[in-house]
Chain A
């Protein structure tokens, strides 16, 4: 029992940085995806911009964190209530 616990602890110690790396990479991809969806606000025309707004309710919670990570203190979309 003790040994099993020790092994679990050891595995966790080893996998911690790795798990973080995966999460970081996933977040990076998600950010890029969001950036593509809302490329309009960077001045890059996006023909489906109108439709991408439909996704907004689903990403509302993450939206605030995202624009902070992208280096924008305030929400870049004037029509969207964020902060």
Chain B
């Protein structure tokens, strides 16, 4: 009841204002978002850096203290920022906003912008500082020290759930794009031999990588143009089996079979990719993908500048059957706040920070970079439709939004690219390649990460067999494949991976919650004001708990509206973890004595 009231209030207050903005255009909205984030960086992060974290330019950072030329290397802040940003930006800040515009563009925009300023920025910046002040260790190890052994195990389990969700969701993302945009298959697969070639050139022959990786990018986009124009290069599995009504394998429909085949191929690929040495495939792929991040952002923002499209989606969607509160806050995770960033900040970037005062630039601005990516994802979707009714016709329900969000983004982004004179069919292929590449990088990394966590848990619980690379990888790949194939989507078997999206968002937020808790505990120990991290933490944990409770009990349980055992079980596990973390948080914080610095 109260959420309906809240909707009404938000609707009436903002609708008029939003109507005025909408009439103006997309550029204005983008500008507005960027300006707010810039102000956040200029003033809020400065306040946090000086008054709360009290960054000390004379502090000897781990990069200097443990300098070994390998892990601990003092690095220029611009370079470190670039590295940090390319590590955290991926497909998630695109997918989340593309779904969340279901509630209209205003809630999504506000959450992305304010979330970046007050939650993500502080979180990424804070984990970096926390790690720098703890010998550059990762958040998990710091949890062990600040809270205790149990916290570390809890942390490992949350990360395990997170990477499992990431694997399933991103495998679905790629399979879905391959099925929806068959022209993207050929260029994506051509990237693999190119990456191996770049690896050999750069690693074995000690050549510079900029030129080979740019050549790789050109070959890939050349293949994209070719595949968009030449029919037989479009690997359309559904067409091969005789169209939508043809006969698939094992009595499945052709769409189900196509999803099934792609998911199996992907899983075989990630198995190989995550057991090979990183320089052979993963790193050179990353080089190409970093270019794609730059190309993607440039195409979208320039396209926005040239086309200056009108926003056709409504500011708020009063007809939404699922309330935005609190689901919005777990639908957009990356782009507003993401626990995954804490894993990159601590442990990786923290070991390379040249001066402690650089942390603000690297951490906070890294989050702003991701916010800017999420912002353009929102704009691509809300300017795509011809009219408001078209938009409402596509985004009919929240579940529907989960399913179509990504495809709408690809089409919307291509429409923006058309402003740069790129023909739509080629733009669609290139945009879907970019998204597939981002998703594939995330998938590779997270399968590898999952393998390490399984090994670590295996050692923790005296099951050394799990520490073997091939055993751990098999467990990781098989469980991920099972998870992505289990939920039933409207297109049948294998097409329901997107149903896991809320679970991905939740586990990501939980991770962010623990990191914020750790920073708060640390700040409290130092006798500082820890409200800047405690408030976003309480906010995130409240939204996560509320959303999970609502979903688990009223949607997924056996008496819920969309009864689904699989989602119910996972949702319940995550809910229990969330409760556990919240209790631990309050226990730890109340136990801490407030000692003056």
Q: Which residue of the partner chain, among B68, B76, B79, B209, contacts A18 with CB atoms under 8 Å?
A: B209
Q: Which residue of the partner chain, among B70, B82, B203, contacts A13 with CB atoms under 8 Å?
A: B82
Tell yes or no: A60 within 8 A of B by CB: no
Residues of A within 8 A of B (CB): 7, 9-18, 20-25, 27, 65
Query: What are 17 A-B interface contacts by the 8 Å CB criterion?
Result: A10-B82, A11-B209, A11-B210, A13-B82, A13-B83, A14-B210, A14-B213, A14-B290, A16-B83, A17-B283, A18-B209, A18-B279, A20-B70, A22-B203, A22-B279, A27-B70, A65-B68
Contact A9 B82 (CB under 8 A): yes
Q: 7 shortest A-B CB distances, which residue pairs?
A: A13-B82, A23-B70, A11-B210, A12-B79, A16-B83, A24-B70, A14-B287
**Contact (A13, B209) CB under 8 Å given A21-B283, A23-B69, A65-B68:** no
Contact B83 A21 (CB under 8 A): no
Interfacial chain A residues near B210, Cβ < 8 Å: 7, 10-11, 14
Contact B75 A16 (CB under 8 A): yes
| C-alpha spacing A17/B75, complex, angstroms | 12
Tell yes or no: B73 within 8 A of A by CB: yes
Task: List 18 other contacts, CB 8 Å, given A9-B82, A18-B283.
Answer: A10-B82, A10-B210, A11-B208, A11-B209, A13-B79, A13-B82, A13-B83, A14-B210, A14-B287, A14-B290, A15-B209, A16-B79, A17-B83, A17-B283, A17-B286, A18-B202, A22-B279, A25-B279
Interfacial chain B residues near A17, Cβ < 8 Å: 83, 283, 286
Contact B79 A9 (CB under 8 A): yes
| C-alpha spacing A11/B83, complex, angstroms | 11
What is the minimal beta-carbon distance from B275 to any residue of chain A, in angstroms? Answer: 16
What is the minimal beta-carbon distance from A69 to any residue of chain B, in angstroms? Answer: 9
Tell yes or no: B253 within 8 A of A by CB: no
- CB-CB nearest in chain B for A16: B83
Interfacial chain A residues near B306, Cβ < 8 Å: none
Q: Map CB proximity to A onto B481-497 as digits: 1 under 8 Å, 0 otherwise.
A: 00000000000000000
| C-alpha spacing A24/B278, complex, angstroms | 12
| C-alpha spacing A20/B79, complex, angstroms | 14
Interfacial chain B residues near A18, Cβ < 8 Å: 202-203, 209, 279, 283, 287
| C-alpha spacing A27/B210, complex, angstroms | 25
Interfacial chain B residues near A27, Cβ < 8 Å: 68, 70
Tell yes or no: B345 within 8 A of A by CB: no
Residues of chain B at interface, number, CB under 8 A? 24
Interfacial chain A residues near B580, Cβ < 8 Å: none
Q: Which residue of the partner chain, among B71, B286, B287, contacts A20 with CB atoms under 8 Å?
A: B71
| C-alpha spacing A65/B279, complex, angstroms | 25
Interfacial chain B residues near A11, Cβ < 8 Å: 208-210
Interfacial chain A residues near B83, Cβ < 8 Å: 13, 16-17
What is the minimal beta-carbon distance from A53 to any residue of chain B, in angstroms? Answer: 25
| C-alpha spacing A25/B68, complex, angstroms | 13
| C-alpha spacing A18/B209, complex, angstroms | 9
Please report which residues of chain B, range 67-115, place their CB below 8 angstroms from some CB of chain A when the two chains form the complex: 68-71, 73, 75-76, 78-79, 82-83, 86
Interfacial chain A residues near B75, Cβ < 8 Å: 16
- CB-CB nearest in chain B for A21: B279
| C-alpha spacing A23/B79, complex, angstroms | 18
- CB-CB nearest in chain A for B68: A65
Q: Map CB proximity to A onto B277-316 as digits: 1 under 8 Å, 0 otherwise.
A: 0110001001100100000000000000000000000000
Interfacial chain A residues near B286, Cβ < 8 Å: 17
| C-alpha spacing A66/B380, complex, angstroms | 52
| C-alpha spacing A44/B206, complex, angstroms | 37
| C-alpha spacing A12/B341, complex, angstroms | 21
What is the minimal beta-carbon distance from B273 to any residue of chain A, in angstroms? Answer: 15
Contact B208 A15 (CB under 8 A): yes
| C-alpha spacing A12/B213, complex, angstroms | 13
Interfacial chain A residues near B202, Cβ < 8 Å: 18
What is the minimal beta-carbon distance from A82 to any residue of chain B, in angstroms? Answer: 17
| C-alpha spacing A24/B71, complex, angstroms | 8
Q: Map CB proximity to A onto B59-72 as digits: 1 under 8 Å, 0 otherwise.
A: 00000000011110
- CB-CB nearest in chain B for A20: B70
Contact A13 B283 (CB under 8 A): no
Interfacial chain A residues near B86, Cβ < 8 Å: 13
| C-alpha spacing A21/B286, complex, angstroms | 13
Q: Map CB proximity to A onto B202-245 as digits: 1 under 8 Å, 0 otherwise.
A: 11000011100100000000000000000000000000000000
